[in-house]
Structure 1
Amino acid sequence: MFAHSRPSPIATLAPASPFTVIRPHRGEPDGTRNSGRRPPFTVPLTALTLWPGERTRDASLEKRRQVMRFKCVVMFLLTLCLTVSPLPGQMDRGTINGTVKDTSGGVLAGVEITATNQNTGLQTTTLSNDVGDYRLLAMPVGTYRIAFSLTGFKTFERTNFDVSVGQVHRLDVRLDIGEVSDSVVVSANSELLSENALVSTTLQNEVITDLPITFSGGRIAEGFAFAVTPGVEGDSWESFMGGGQAFSKEVLIDGISATAQIQGNFLETPASMEAIQEFKVQTSGMSAEYGRTSGGVFSYALKSGTNDFHGSLLYYGRNEALNANTWMNNWNQSQDPTNPRYKRARDREFLWGGSAGGPIFIPGLYNGRDRSFFFFAIEHDNRETYRLGTTDRTVPLPAFLDGDFSALLDTSKTVGTDALGRPVYSGQIYNPATLRQEGGKWVSDPFPGNIIPKSQISPASAKIADLFR
């Protein structure tokens, strides 16, 4: 018998099948100690008793297991979202370089230069070398605050310094003698780009969104390039830059080539204008890093989230009810008011979109300010427009597929006579097998009733006719 006391059971089950018991290593029911493992033995199960304490422990254990599983799933998802892979070789960034000197013109070595993105808080730090030169590489497009500090000199700060895509910026600085805690702050002004002979035009997002839109098939940033950039002609399908060939330019999105099938064609997969931070057109003087083009480069730098939540919404609508009818339609309608052909042609287009961005923030769990951000943009265009089509393309009638062209024959209209003096009617077709010369002139006989006998329809023509059935 068991020597342990138990509370009263709450349920008793009595299955008929036996069950297997595995003896424990220690603590036999009779209080003896095992010297080793013993083989299991089988006994008939006559009663299974559930005790209240055992049920409570099982429920608590299951709850802890559920919490642990939930934590594992959350950590796995966060790992997927926050893992970043480097992409070397991208050309979507800018460079800042220059020389640091004192007020007498002597170069300063060991000056700490810190560039801080004013929107995201991202910091890039470097030191000036023995001749006072410094270089900040791979700077994401944006507005920066650049600080220069050295013991024994006042800290110099340059604010609102814009870094453009694919551009080398030069910033030379002179430090005044004083305490490091003292600072001289200078707001950005127009700079002279003298680092290379690059010929380019850069458009910021504010300029793109403020310019008038010639609306047709959605907003495409490339359309602005052909309007404001000297030496660039064409459209989003076929463009010419600096006298170069068509389909020879390179299109880069955040430094990655966007070429899909045709070189330089960005018409089918353009980036939403709400997602473009900066758009740059380089027409000549490109450096060796642009090795996939002979006709210029279109570079797009996309937006990212910042420390502040921000977004935008847009809508554009066009409807024929808001348009004036054509003069000819108005005149024809005055002559035939019941004819619906003279109403305004269907002309509808609807564009909607928006964007949203900011820091990744989960209340009580994670604050991504200065560390991680999100950005999302969408733009959709829908058009319903009637346009004039070509008049030389038709679809055959069912009778035509069997060689019956009698519907085309109009015996009331005579367009002339043949070499034998026979009248030639409108829509009449002739049998090429009867082509001959009569009196030095070529003549052939028309098909009776404008119907081609099936025996004269070639197998190739029959195959073509079957495509329309």
Structure 2
Amino acid sequence: MRHVIALAALFSASLFAQEFRSTLAGLVTDPQGAAVAGAKVRLRETATNTGYEATSAVDGAFTLPFVPPGDYELSAEASGFKKYVQAGIRIGTNQRLSQNITLSLGAITESITVSADVSQLNTASASVGQVISTAQLDSMPMNGRTPLSLAQLAFGVVPASDPRFTRPFDNAGPSGFSMGGGQGQSNEILLDGAPDMTRNRRVAYNPPADSVAEVKVEVFQSDAAYGNTGGGTVNVVMKGGANDFHGSAYLFNQVSALKANQFFSNAASRERAVTRFNQYGLTASGPVFIPKLFNGKNKVFWYFAYEGIKQSEPEPTFSTVPTDAQRGGNLSQLLSVNSIYQVYDPLTGAREGARVRRQPFPNNVIPANRINPVARNILGLIPGPNTTGGADGINNYFNKAVRSDNFFSYLGRLDVNASDKHKFFFSYRINDRLEDRGRRFGTSVTGNLLSRVNNGATFDDVYTLSPSMLLNTRLNWTRFTEGSTRPHDGFDFTSLGFPQYMAAASARNVIPFIDFSNFSDIGESGGDRTPFDSFQIFTTLTKITGKHSIKTGIDIRQQRESSNAFGNSDSWQPMIQHLLNIFSCSSRKIWLSV
């Protein structure tokens, strides 16, 4: 088991660290440009009515930190001035935005509405980044509809993975890119500001595209808190609930009728294998509402998303299998192809000086009483030829094998606006992938079942201790479990003639792995299982002093990895030696590593 603990103390003049929320700051002045102190500045999210308040300082400066992405209305009030209202403000992910407010003389009961845009120019930080907005996520094509894959289109990002494998259940493909000249797959991948990575920095959880608000790609981050990366940082920001009920449903379907046949399938005169990619899902959100008991409008909101994928992809394969005659020991046909296929009797060796000469089997036929019964039983697991192949039988079996994936994903989130001073959210996510691949003969004697299961939870709390001091606490947990089992898991190999003590000593009973030097292999090891846990406690305390913000905090991380591998017997031998029970190499493997 491996434990990794990271602890960092952060002191910075920049406000955010591993943060998906933004800051809106500016000055409140009168028509002559003089500072207005004591003005009440309020930012209201239009979807939830969630408010963020600040009071302008002596120099007129105000700062509104920890503002989630969304659409807002900005207002300001001061005695002797008309109320200032500015609607249509769009705030993105991890931005430092500037908006000055000019108040007009008049009664506070009067108001003036402006429509000027908030400045998107970041003058408070040297960080270099790009936001992929909701509109871009909705309109840009995505192979597999994986939002993280769009990060590869940002400036300073170089793709380093196969573009075919960027589906939601792919982990290396969507995160396989380099940033700012760093190594590929060495970046920090965040989900709502929290780590979302496997042990080797692949992405752990890919949320449904309809659940993502924005993707922030930062090639260079000057904030002291961003240290857990060899390149850049990508922050995927999720949607939450609102006062109105919303929902969506989708279905994307690719079927065999629209696909061409595989080259090797055509060459073998075989029909198309089943090909499909069915991706479907739904989202729903709104306020928590229990008739006659609780109305969470403006206070408590929920969000739910589900996605499922069923994919089948042809992987046609040619194999070399023994004929019925060869299984019975008759290899005379091979001798007519080439003399190198002459089989010699290992029990007839006679020394001639420094050499040993053995006698060939008459007509290249092994007597039936010389064939090992275990070997005969093992060959019974392998099908016979179904195509001509070469003159010596090479590639005499064709199978339109199919690689299939079954995947589902769930996401739940609860946002609570306890007061203007206290806001928090909790989210839980899970996805599960099962890949069935490598069945060369269309049966369970070969192949692998790859399983990847991810669970994660995030709790994030922002509390305003005073108008100029805020505390943010985040707890995050991710568990990514990857493992392999065999389609023949549970196989009773004593039925092949192996002794009972071998089965009793095996961690998993599977078909023994036999590596034929001139025929296709069968069997496999017992598989493996590797769970990886990542824990984070992240806390920052922010003090606002006029135009400046001072922040201090800690980032504590612990990582745990356990690995279990299940062995079984294996052997390497030419098929002839297999029949005669003469092993070139054999071993018995039973191990458990932690």
Query: SS of the counterpart of 1:424?
Result: helix
In structure 2, relative to structure 1, the CA distance for the partners of 1:325 and 1:396 (3 Å cut) is: closer
Which of 107, 114, 121 is the equivalent residue of 1:186? 114
Which of 141, 153, 157 is the equivalent residue of 2:85? 157
Query: SS of the counterpart of 1:224?
Result: helix
| Cα shift readout 1:95-141 (whole Å, capped 9, x = no counterpart) | 11112222222222111110111100101111111111111111122
How many Å apart are 1:388 and its aligned residue?
Answer: 4.0
In structure 2, relative to structure 1, the CA distance for the partners of 1:325 and 1:258 (3 Å cut) is: closer
Query: Equivalents in 1 of 2:96, 2:105: separation in Å?
Result: 29
How many Å apart are 1:445 and its aligned residue?
Answer: 7.1
Equivalent residue for 1:376? 304
**2:180 pairs with 1:242:** yes
Greater CA drift, 244-253 or 321-330:
321-330
Q: Whose radius of gyration is greater, 1 or 2?
A: 1
Query: Equivalents in 2 of 1:444, 1:225: separation in Å?
Result: 67
Equivalent residue for 2:139? 210
Which of 158, 162, 168 is the equivalent residue of 1:232? 158
Query: SS of the counterpart of 1:194?
Result: coil
**2:226 pairs with 1:101:** no
Query: Equivalents in 2 of 1:387, 1:396: separation in Å?
Result: 22
| Cα shift readout 1:422-455 (whole Å, capped 9, x = no counterpart) | x434x97998xx9x999xxx99979754843857
| Cα shift readout 1:329-379 (whole Å, capped 9, x = no counterpart) | 77x6xxxxxx8x442332111111010001111222221111111110011
Equivalent residue for 1:275? 211
1:259-274 → structure 2 map (5 Å cutoff): 259-263=197-201, 265-266=202-203, 268-274=204-210
Amino acid at match of 2:124: E
Query: Equivalents in 1 of 2:114, 2:234: separation in Å?
Result: 32
Normalising to structure 2: TM-score of the pair? 0.52
Query: SS of the counterpart of 1:177?
Result: coil
Equivalent residue for 1:222? 148
| Cα shift readout 1:276-327 (whole Å, capped 9, x = no counterpart) | 1111111113411222112111101111110111111000111112334578
8 Å CA contact retained: 2:134, 2:213? yes
Equivalent residue for 2:340? 424
Please report the RMSD computed on the Cα atoms of aligned residues, expressed in angstroms: 3.7
How many Å apart are 1:251 and its aligned residue?
Answer: 1.2
Amino acid at match of 1:149: E
Query: Equivalents in 1 of 2:117, 2:332: separation in Å?
Result: 76
Equivalent residue for 2:289? 361
Normalising to structure 1: TM-score of the pair? 0.65
Query: Equivalents in 2 of 1:398, 1:225: separation in Å?
Result: 56
Amino acid at match of 2:130: T
Query: Equivalents in 1 of 2:587, 2:32: separation in Å?
Result: 94
Query: Equivalents in 2 of 1:160, 1:203: separation in Å?
Result: 19
In structure 2, relative to structure 1, the CA distance for the partners of 1:179 and 1:323 (3 Å cut) is: same
In structure 2, relative to structure 1, the CA distance for the partners of 1:399 and 1:98 (3 Å cut) is: farther
Amino acid at match of 2:218: Q
Equivalent residue for 2:67? 139
In structure 2, relative to structure 1, the CA distance for the partners of 1:158 and 1:394 (3 Å cut) is: farther
How many Å apart are 1:90 and its aligned residue?
Answer: 6.1
| Cα shift readout 1:150-196 (whole Å, capped 9, x = no counterpart) | 11122222212122222111112222222222222223536233222
**2:473 pairs with 1:348:** no
In structure 2, relative to structure 1, the CA distance for the partners of 1:148 and 1:405 (3 Å cut) is: farther
**2:191 pairs with 1:253:** yes
Equivalent residue for 1:66? none
Equivalent residue for 2:237? 301
In structure 2, relative to structure 1, the CA distance for the partners of 1:109 and 1:353 (3 Å cut) is: same
Which of 53, 57, 81 is the equivalent residue of 1:125? 53
Equivalent residue for 1:71? none
8 Å CA contact retained: 2:142, 2:149? no
Answer 1 or 2: higher relative contact order, Cα 8 Å, separation at least 6.
2
In structure 2, relative to structure 1, the CA distance for the partners of 1:129 and 1:406 (3 Å cut) is: farther
8 Å CA contact retained: 1:170, 1:195? no
8 Å CA contact retained: 1:408, 1:428? no
Query: SS of the counterpart of 1:312?
Result: strand
| Cα shift readout 1:225-263 (whole Å, capped 9, x = no counterpart) | 213444332342522111101221111111111123222
In structure 2, relative to structure 1, the CA distance for the partners of 1:454 and 1:187 (3 Å cut) is: same
- Alignment: residue pair count: 346
Query: Equivalents in 1 of 2:111, 2:186: separation in Å?
Result: 50
8 Å CA contact retained: 2:277, 2:310? yes
Which of 117, 124, 128 is the equivalent residue of 1:199? 128
How many Å apart are 1:149 and its aligned residue?
Answer: 1.3
Structure 2 stretches lacking a partner, 5+ long: 1-15, 161-172, 365-574, 590-594
8 Å CA contact retained: 1:430, 1:444? no
8 Å CA contact retained: 1:306, 1:359? yes
In structure 2, relative to structure 1, the CA distance for the partners of 1:228 and 1:282 (3 Å cut) is: closer
Query: Equivalents in 2 of 1:284, 1:325: separation in Å?
Result: 46
